[in-house]
Structure 1
């Protein structure tokens, strides 16, 4: 048995595997100087309140100052937080992080006048500014976005009222969060030897992946016993959230809460409804997956608590970090020499904080500040999952790098709708590479299973969530009642539809809607399914040798928010206003099912 080593302190770790945070600030003293400069700059920005309508020169002066302040603030905020994430027990960086957060609030407060004041100046006057100064060209898209939604912006007095109401409506989400994270407790379950096993949100997914079926069954019952006990309270909370969305949509003159939620990213409602329709047309694939899972687990009846149990035996693949970098580079070669060159510079040049140390933030992420390369936090373990994590997070970093290099600060950040495309595309390319380069049947089955689980969890499950939201928000918009019984019935029927008759739809699953935090951010989850579909479609085009798609993808990575998300994806030959990207992803799902069925026959 391999020796389990103690987690080292940060100062004991090899600096070769630590990010070069000094690329952002060489010392805390330099950070402090910028922090003090920012504190002085905030009153300067606030002094422009009531003056933006003076003319084009005042506007340009304000925007230039604001962008310089925001760039500096980004660096200050990221440095403080990332130093804190290196060791969350470090009191120095706890303090710096708190200071940066306070600065964020002050900045927001100092610039809150900007949007309503520019709207009050009016489109006609601002169109005149474009004639007066060439420097205004930078702000063409900025003003397009501002005035595009003008019909949904109300009078200054009404906006003030809505701001107050919005604060109260956010309390609905806070109530659910308090219940879900602080108050609800789940009964412990018994292990094989009679030992007590605690059940919590954090442990639940691990328990549902247990190879011991009894543990899965008991954990499932434990979790839903509590949500069932509070189902009426949770139904009232969720219903209040629906009514809040319906209210804001009506007051802001949108056709529906869905239209309001999608308008921020300029996403047509048809993209949402088409996702659901296309998945409905391919439901037989999910039903095949369910049958495959039943066969792989060798059970007479498949239950909802069997959906996350491992279908194949764990494959032990010890992959040290240096080897992982080589594999990722090989897997992403279809993206071209220039991409691999930058990727290599990032993986070898201090972008990544690789290994766990005492107090380090858990998980993995990519983050950074404009004007400096991105940073990736990992807690690398020598296994295949972590190789995929490396490819995923470097996908985010490369997206940020190319957007920062090619866009002005104003348009460098990309929208949520496309945020997971680059990371998922990397994973898909890596998966194809690994599948092509293994003759080991167990290893191939393990890889295909990993891919199948992504389709189930991201494309089908998130679309089912999206459909539940669509149904319930439409009912709320019509003033129809939404009791616990009605919500349970809707959700249970959706599970029947999505999973088919090859599985027992346990009665407890009807309550799952009551524990999904994302439902309190209306119409958010569909983006996981659309982003995943877009990424798979792009990877398929690139792997087929479509050079135009590859070149378009590089333009997409460089686009930031200079175009709306739909038009950015069209650069890659992917049109999310048509069913084709989702159909393309589902065709791959079907091919993977074919392969897995063959492997299980052998």
Structure 2
């Protein structure tokens, strides 16, 4: 057994213990097999244009065309996933950088050569299409697929125009790619001194752990060193972010959307009022965040509370710490309430080398769950022995089990799920973990730590992600109105938002104005708000499951199995949460308030 605690410095990829790495041979046995598959998809993609002009000839032609195009995408996704995972395990490896570049170029070819699909379906007369759907049984399984295309009819361009835009996909991905290489590979972080006087190599993974240090000087040094490093390249980061924003605004404009936000939400058929309601409800409950921040200042007994003081546990040194092996055991206990079938899939993920655990030199930062319809779900971690990483493990496992259920209960056409509901599956697991810990931990010191952790998680997921969402809307609106997105311009607004959210109790450290440069999700247009809506919806679902409310678990499992077989809002209504209303957000803030009450009471007695 390999214990992460024995790893003192970041290893090279080749020196990482094999049991702590994912097994990508389950996707392709070796690189040669990938290259063969790549060539096959490339050949098939070139043949797609032969289908153009045939889809409306008959119901059978329509089915054949849809299935041929989906087949190419299905094979392409497997090729892309392998290249992406290989690259992420060591972003310095030029071979797999090349694989990703090839896969992205191939994506542009597939998109270009199939760009006629939606426009051509939209040219089929409504009565003709209705006749096809009624008379040809093989079209029945594509009802939802066709409805989604028809729903965006006003925003689909003629075939030639869509082909040109799709062909530029590789070029348009450049800002995100440049950001990834710069932040993951080219930035050189210094070493900092921890509480024991040891020199620690600063990285995205160690940074979060250092901010939990009970020693304020350690937190300050890590905070300032991180932003000094990013600050040296602030103009480059502003340029890449501006490129991303311009891409999104351009795509929205040419597709006749009023804004990039409207365009992004329309892809998942999410009403804009869901976004607006989130921001309105968060603003209405900022007093709770200010109250929590004031409690933190009082308990930490600091004359000035800084941004780098917002992550250290209020009860001092973390009362709970887990090795990776211990975290797996706790995760299984916490998720047992989901039932034996769900738990069996969690065990498979844990035991079949589907997780890349250890941080190594060049490895992509953060964590995610990835895969395709024909692969296992894979999880990337950068493990640290703390409660946060236990939550991360449970969170990403939620994504992976969601993927397993969807892919084993839906055909390929519906075998994925929209981002909007993806975060609900992961954060339901987080909420179940919190409930489990509060039910099993009776020591007041430990309970206080768990409550503190929950409140920090809520702060980071609901409040912070909504702050990000506001900032994202600001930079897109600014570009749309001709404002230059310079580093100084966007930093000024970011600092203002940060002050509004955290209130007067927190010192407005100038470094935090550059936090936008650290956030990779700003290169995934209008993604972050879904963390906040997802966490709030998951809170309602988890309470029903944990309390064993009649039908709650069964409805939830049905939701995991549904994939994209219906619109996201309808999917969640079926699961028991209406996200077109503010109720679910109000319930989440009520839980936050109740747990803040309990923490305040506990801390008085400690």
Shorter-chain TM range is 0.7 to 0.9
- Counterpart Cα distance in 1 of 2:353 and 2:484: 52
Shift of residue 183, structure 1, vs aligned partner:
8.1
- Mapped pair 1:273 → 2:238: no
- Mapped pair 1:370 → 2:378: no
Task: Show the counterpart of 1:570.
Answer: 573
Shift of residue 403, structure 1, vs aligned partner:
0.7
- Mapped pair 1:314 → 2:318: yes
Q: Which moved more, 1:85-94 or 1:104-113?
A: 85-94
Query: What does residue range 331-480 of structure 1 map to in structure 2 within 5 Å?
Result: 331-348=334-351, 350=352, 352-353=354-355, 356=358, 364-371=367-374, 373-377=376-380, 384-474=387-477, 476-477=479-480
- Mapped pair 1:304 → 2:280: no
- Counterpart Cα distance in 2 of 1:338 and 1:400: 14
Distance 1:530 1:375, change over 3 A: same
Shift of residue 600, structure 1, vs aligned partner:
2.1
Task: Show the counterpart of 2:596.
Answer: 593
- Counterpart Cα distance in 1 of 2:225 and 2:572: 43
- Counterpart Cα distance in 1 of 2:89 and 2:177: 29
Distance 1:445 1:170, change over 3 A: same
Task: Show the counterpart of 1:53.
Answer: 56
Task: Show the counterpart of 1:286.
Answer: 289
Instruction: Confirm or deny: 8 A CA contact 1:354 1:380 kept in the other structure.
Output: no
Out of 531, 535, 560, the residue aligned to residue 532 of structure 1 is: 535
Encode CA deviations 1:324-380: one digit per residue, 9 max, x unaligned. 4443232123223432344345545x2634765988956654333425543445566
Shift of residue 103, structure 1, vs aligned partner:
5.3
Q: What TM-score, normalized to structure 2?
A: 0.82
- Counterpart Cα distance in 1 of 2:359 and 2:491: 44
Shift of residue 509, structure 1, vs aligned partner:
3.7
- Counterpart Cα distance in 1 of 2:243 and 2:603: 48
Shift of residue 522, structure 1, vs aligned partner:
3.7
Task: Show the counterpart of 2:145.
Answer: 142
Q: Which runs of 5+ in 2 are unaligned?
A: none
Query: The residue matched to 1:366 in structure 2 has which SS?
Result: strand
- Number of residue pairs aligned between Structure 1 and Structure 2: 599
Task: Show the counterpart of 2:331.
Answer: 328
- Counterpart Cα distance in 1 of 2:515 and 2:15: 44
Encode CA deviations 1:480-502: one digit per residue, 9 max, x unaligned. 78777765554344333211222
Query: The residue matched to 2:262 in structure 1 has which SS?
Result: helix
Distance 1:195 1:268, change over 3 A: same
Out of 248, 259, 263, the residue aligned to residue 260 of structure 1 is: 263
Query: What does residue range 13-52 of structure 1 map to in structure 2 within 5 Å?
Result: 38=41, 40-52=43-55
Task: Show the counterpart of 1:544.
Answer: 547
Shift of residue 124, structure 1, vs aligned partner:
4.3
Task: Show the counterpart of 1:65.
Answer: 68
- Counterpart Cα distance in 2 of 1:343 and 1:193: 37
- Counterpart Cα distance in 1 of 2:236 and 2:27: 48
Instruction: Confirm or deny: 8 A CA contact 2:41 2:76 kept in the other structure.
Output: yes
Distance 1:337 1:167, change over 3 A: closer
Distance 1:171 1:566, change over 3 A: same
Instruction: Confirm or deny: 8 A CA contact 2:118 2:156 kept in the other structure.
Output: no
Query: The residue matched to 1:547 in structure 2 has which SS?
Result: coil
- Mapped pair 1:560 → 2:556: no
Task: Show the counterpart of 2:6.
Answer: 4
- Counterpart Cα distance in 1 of 2:104 and 2:339: 40
Shift of residue 240, structure 1, vs aligned partner:
7.2
Instruction: Confirm or deny: 8 A CA contact 1:13 1:357 kept in the other structure.
Output: no
Q: Which moved more, 1:572-581 or 1:442-451?
A: 442-451
Shift of residue 241, structure 1, vs aligned partner:
6.1
Distance 1:325 1:32, change over 3 A: same
Shift of residue 532, structure 1, vs aligned partner:
1.5
- Counterpart Cα distance in 2 of 1:586 and 1:244: 35
- Mapped pair 1:295 → 2:298: yes
Query: What is the RMSD of the two structures over their aligned residues, measured on CA atoms?
Result: 4.5
Q: Which moved more, 1:332-341 or 1:187-196?
A: 187-196
Shift of residue 223, structure 1, vs aligned partner:
5.6
Shift of residue 383, structure 1, vs aligned partner:
5.4
Q: Which moved more, 1:82-91 or 1:292-301?
A: 82-91
- Counterpart Cα distance in 1 of 2:517 and 2:33: 48
Encode CA deviations 1:140-169: one digit per residue, 9 max, x unaligned. 111211121121223445556766888777
Shift of residue 412, structure 1, vs aligned partner:
0.8
Instruction: Confirm or deny: 8 A CA contact 2:119 2:157 kept in the other structure.
Output: no
Shift of residue 409, structure 1, vs aligned partner:
0.5
